[in-house]
Chain A
Amino acid sequence: MEVKLTSVDKLVSKLNELADGTALALRVGLSAYLDSLRGILEGYANKANVECIYVTATIPAASIIGALDVLEIKIDHVHFIDCVSHTMLGTVGTKKDDILLVESPTMLENIMLKVEFLSRKIGSKKKIVLFDSLNSLCIHNDLKIVSEFLHILVNNMRAKNITTILLTIEEHGTEEIKNMLNLVCDETLILGSE
């Protein structure tokens, strides 16, 4: 089921209504990307006291932290899994305890393992997994293995009552990616798409 949202506030309302363990496809327009992050991390997770496992396959976690800092979004409850930094040899910089590194976006099992690790480390607190973004993951992996990866990840999270949000950028999306998300997700929300 696809639902078109007209504002970030509507996104936050929808997130608050979601049952635990839901798999949500979130398709955002490029112009709405930062707003959607604000909505998820500040409008929803911060206010509802939800821990967020943020998997980034697009840009390094350090860059996201910098952007969120500029937007004055608190990230005490955000735990990063960075699939990008290791591919840029020599630029990993200072190792940070709050950022787990995966050597490559092709190591999909390792992404699942880091999510599993963080979910155990966080303990019984309510948590969500935010995947940013599927488009970037599909640059490095073929659709078949990404579909398999998502199916296993989503089902694992569902069994643990952890909501999964799979972010895609509308302008970079393809019919194949949309079909794949329709297969594994319970709901699709669209924000900022013309």
Chain B
Amino acid sequence: MMDQSVVTKKRTDRCVTGIEALDSILNGGIPRGNAVLITGSCGTGKTTLSIEFLIHGALMGENGVFFSVTESSDKLLSNMMPYDFFDESLLTTQKLSIIDMQDIYKKLDLEKIEFSFEDIDKLIKEISDIVRKKGAKRMVIDSITSICFHLKTEEKIRTFILKLGSSLRDTKCTSLLVSEILPSDARYSTYGVEEAIADGIILMGNLERRGDLLRTLQVVKMRGTSHSRAKYVLDITSLGILMVPLLKGGGS
């Protein structure tokens, strides 16, 4: 029979996102060390949620790193400013870091269409080194789809995500991997591999109801915790992301 103190430790080992409704959906937060796919089509709030996750973490004393593949750090910074709770000192004190992936590609001589297995190892080592050096407990890669575009094959994608998870395991760094899908996609990831390997999947979408477009969020999977699988409607405000249950009455 498991020692009670071990059971207690296991139960409380959560990465509190700071997004109140999401923490409630996840019964306290993301199990620490999980790699979670934040997936959805354009304009659904994936980057915004990821940024808020890092800011709240930094405010709670957990350093975070945002690896941006598609947007410049200036643009990301401008997206953080409207938050009432954002403090620029988080960046100056390195509690929060924004890394342009293009700079890493340049440094590692990876400005190419397709990465080899050796390139994958170099990239993972660089990402892990940055996470360790910054003492980061939270990490975002936005987007994993853009990196996978350079990997081309299912085997390479699988290798990349598995090795990334394995290299960060001892740091207990909780990761959000942003995945872009089309609105019509039945899968949760472009290549189908990412969703199988990820510890969790948070699906963000645009739901059309009688001509209105509602931003929605649904936790499809999260290893290590029970969670709500209901769909929620969200609003992006200066106080952060707020959520309410999706109303089901009245049909589609």
**Chain A residues proximal to chain B, CB less than 8 Å:** 103-104, 106-110, 112-114, 116-117, 120-121, 141-142, 144-149, 152, 156
**Chain B residues proximal to chain A, CB less than 8 Å:** 209-212, 214, 233-235, 237, 239, 242-250
A73: min CB distance to chain B, Å = 28
A151: min CB distance to chain B, Å = 10
Query: With A110-B233, A113-B244 as given contacts, are A144 and B249 in contact (CB-CB < 8 Å)?
Result: yes
B29: min CB distance to chain A, Å = 20
Do B249 and A117 have beta carbons less than 8 Å apart? no
A141 to B242, CA, bound (A): 23
Interface SS of B by simple majority? strand
Query: With A142-B249, A147-B249, A149-B247 as given contacts, are A107 and B212 in contact (CB-CB < 8 Å)?
Result: yes
A44: min CB distance to chain B, Å = 27
A78: min CB distance to chain B, Å = 20
Query: With A106-B210, A107-B212, A152-B244 as given contacts, are A113 and B233 in contact (CB-CB < 8 Å)?
Result: yes
| Nearest neighbor of B245 in chain A, beta-carbon distance | A152
Residues on B with beta carbons closer than 8 Å to the beta carbon of A116: 242, 244
Do A109 and B210 have beta carbons less than 8 Å apart? no
Interface SS of A by simple majority? helix
Residues on A with beta carbons closer than 8 Å to the beta carbon of B209: 106
A93 to B250, CA, bound (A): 32
Residues on B with beta carbons closer than 8 Å to the beta carbon of A107: 212, 214
Do B212 and A117 have beta carbons less than 8 Å apart? no
Residues on B with beta carbons closer than 8 Å to the beta carbon of A145: 247, 249-250
Do B239 and A109 have beta carbons less than 8 Å apart? no
| Nearest neighbor of B210 in chain A, beta-carbon distance | A106
A147 to B248, CA, bound (A): 11
Do B242 and A113 have beta carbons less than 8 Å apart? yes
Do B250 and A142 have beta carbons less than 8 Å apart? yes
Other 7 A-B pairs with CB < 8 A, given A120-B242, A144-B249, A148-B247: A103-B212, A113-B243, A117-B242, A120-B239, A145-B249, A147-B249, A152-B245
